[in-house]
Amino acid sequence: MERGAKEKNHQLYKPYTNGIIAKDPTSLEEEIKEIRRSGSSKALDNTLEFELSDIFYFCRKGVETIMDDEVTKRFSAEELESWNLLSRTNYNFQYISLRLTVLWGLGVLIRYCFLLPLRIALAFTGISLLVVGTTVVGYLPNGRFKEFLSKHVHLMCYRICVRALTAIITYHDRKNRPRNGGICVANHTSPIDVIILASDGYYAMVGQVHGGLMGVIQRAMVKACPHVWFERSEVKDRHLVAKRLTEHVQDKSKLPILIFPEGTCINNTSVMMFKKGSFEIGATVYPVAIKYDPQFGDAFWNSSKYGMVTYLLRMMTSWAIVCSVWYLPPMTREAEEDAVQFANRVKSAIARQGGLVDLLWDGGLKREKVKDTFKEEQQKLYSKMIVGNHEDRSRS
C-alpha cells in the first residue's frame, strides 16, 4: 500500500495521528496570551481583559476536537496499518493485486468452512458442560470437595470456550493472581474478557440477572459457586450493590470478585474512567491489564454497531484472538485517598502496564451526551482568568 501510494503520488491515511494539529500541553491563559501577541504588534502587559480575539481560542479548540478528539475514536475498532486478510481494516485498501485477492478468498474458505464449524462445536461443548457440570455440583453438600469440583469444572469449561476462539493467551506475573476476599479489576474490551481471565483463575462473577440462554447459565453457575447476581430493579440501587459486594469480600473464604469498572467496552487503545463503586468497599484490589493484538482478529465489541450474535460470529471467523494478561501487585486504599483517587491510581497502573492511553473521560459518553458541567468548565476557567485579574488590579 505504501509503495502504491508513492507511485500514484497519493497520501496515505494515517489513523490516530494529529496530522497538522499540534497539541501542546499549555494552559488556557498562556494560549490566549499567545493569540493576542501574534495578532498585535503592541507590547502586552501582564493584565488580561476581555478581547474579541479571545473567541479564536475556543473556535480553534472546537475545530481540533471535531477533527481529532481523544474520546469518540475509542468506541470504534482500531485502525490497522496493514491488512490482516479479514474485513477491511485500512482506509487505504481498495485493490492491490490478484494474488492477494486469491489469498483472501482462500482465507474465507478456511475460516468459514473449516474453522467456524469446529469452533461452534467447541463452544457448544463448553457451554453444555458448564451448565450440566455446575448443576450437578450444586446438589453436593457444601465443603472442600464441592469447592474443589466446582473450581475444576469452571476452569475446564472456560478453557474449552477459549479454544473455541483459538485464543492464544500469555499470562505474566501469575504470583500476583487475585486471592479470596479481594476484587479483581481489569480494563474492558470485550465480553470474552471474562473467559480470558476465568480460564486462568477461579472468580465470583458480578452482573445483572438475564433471561434466555444466559439466564440458564447464570442459574446453573450460582448453584456451584457464590456468584453475585442482581435483579434489574436492584442494579441502580448503589447502596444495595455496595452492601452485597461488601458482604462478599468480608468473607475471606469466598472467591475474588471480577469487575470491569469502566462499565463499557473500549477499543483496547486506552483505559477510560473507572466507576468508584468497587473502590469504596475497602477491599484489596488486584489490578489486571489485558492487551489484545488486533493483527489476527479484533476482540473489541462495538455494541452500538454489532449485536452479540454478529459479534461472536466475527470472533469465530477471525484467525485467532491473541492477547497478553498482566497480573499487577495488589493495591489498597491509602489513608488520605478517597475512592475516586484510588480508582485513578489503579487505572493509571493498568494503563502503564498494558501500554494504553490513560483517559479521564467517562466511557458512558459512548451512549450519552456530554454533561453540561464539562462544557461549563472552560467557561469557568476563562471567567476566573478575567475576574481574577480585575480583583488583583483593584487590590493594588
- Residue 360 and residue 256 share a domain: yes
Please give the Cα distance from 126 to 221 (Å, whole number). Answer: 13
pLDDT for position 90: 47
pLDDT-derived band of residue 17, with 50, 70 and 90 as boundaries? very low
Q: Could you report the per-residue pLDDT of 307-324, keeping only the tens digit for each?
A: 888 888 888 988 889 999
pLDDT for position 3: 65
pLDDT at 68 over 90: no
pLDDT-derived band of residue 373, with 50, 70 and 90 as boundaries? confident
- Residue 325 and residue 261 share a domain: yes
Q: Tell me the average pLDDT across 19-31.
A: 59
End-of-domain residue from the set 50, 68, 86: 68
pLDDT-derived band of residue 2, with 50, 70 and 90 as boundaries? low
- Residue 251 and residue 172 share a domain: yes
pLDDT for position 314: 87
Indicate whether 152 belongs to any domain: yes
And the C-alpha cell for 189? Answer: 474490551
Indicate whether 334 belongs to any domain: yes
- Residue 53 and residue 179 share a domain: no
Indicate whether 260 belongs to any domain: yes
Indicate whether 285 belongs to any domain: yes
If one compares 280 and 31, the residue with the highest pLDDT of the two is: 280
pLDDT at 246 over 90: no
- Residue 150 and residue 22 share a domain: no
End-of-domain residue from the set 68, 89, 119: 68
- Residue 123 and residue 59 share a domain: no
Indicate whether 373 belongs to any domain: no
If one compares 212 and 66, the residue with the highest pLDDT of the two is: 212
- Residue 169 and residue 48 share a domain: no
pLDDT for position 217: 86
pLDDT-derived band of residue 386, with 50, 70 and 90 as boundaries? confident
Q: Could you report the per-residue pLDDT of 140-177, keeping only the tens digit for each?
A: 998 889 999 999 999 999 999 999 989 999 999 999 99
pLDDT for position 18: 41
Is residue 113 within 8 Å of 329, Cβ to Cβ?
Answer: no
Is residue 268 within 8 Å of 300, Cβ to Cβ?
Answer: yes
pLDDT for position 195: 92
- Residue 228 and residue 177 share a domain: yes
Neighbour-count burial of 319, counting CB atoms closer than 10 A to its CB (0-12 exposed, 13-18 middle, 19+ buried): middle
- Residue 38 and residue 105 share a domain: no
Of 22-26, 43-47, 267-271, which has the strongest mean pLDDT?
Answer: 267-271
Residue percentage of the chain with pLDDT more than 90: 29
- Residue 283 and residue 159 share a domain: yes
CB half-sphere exposure, 218, CA atoms < 13 A: 15
Collect all residues with Cβ–Cβ distance below 8 Å to 357 and sequence separation of at least 6: 70, 269, 270, 271, 351
Look-up: residue for cell 497478553? 324
pLDDT at 378 over 50: yes
pLDDT for position 16: 45
Q: Tell me the average pLDDT across 104-112.
A: 87
pLDDT for position 350: 95
Indicate whether 92 belongs to any domain: no
Q: Tell me the average pLDDT across 118-140.
A: 92
pLDDT at 393 over 60: no
Domain of 240 in residue numbering reads as 98-366
pLDDT for position 24: 56
pLDDT for position 26: 64
If one compares 73 and 317, the residue with the highest pLDDT of the two is: 317
pLDDT for position 44: 47
pLDDT-derived band of residue 94, with 50, 70 and 90 as boundaries? low
pTM (two decimals): 0.78
Please give the Cα distance from 205 to 160 (Å, whole number). Answer: 19
pLDDT for position 245: 86
- Residue 59 and residue 107 share a domain: no
Length of the chain (residues): 396
Domain count of the fold of the chain? 2
If one compares 237 and 227, the residue with the highest pLDDT of the two is: 227
- Residue 105 and residue 55 share a domain: no
pLDDT for position 170: 94
pLDDT at 248 over 70: yes
pLDDT at 65 over 60: yes
Residue percentage of the chain with pLDDT more than 70: 76
Indicate whether 376 belongs to any domain: no
- Range scoring the smallest mean pLDDT among 24-33, 175-184, 242-251, 311-320: 24-33
pLDDT at 300 over 50: yes
End-of-domain residue from the set 25, 51, 68: 68
Indicate whether 390 belongs to any domain: no
**Mean predicted lDDT score pLDDT of the chain:** 80
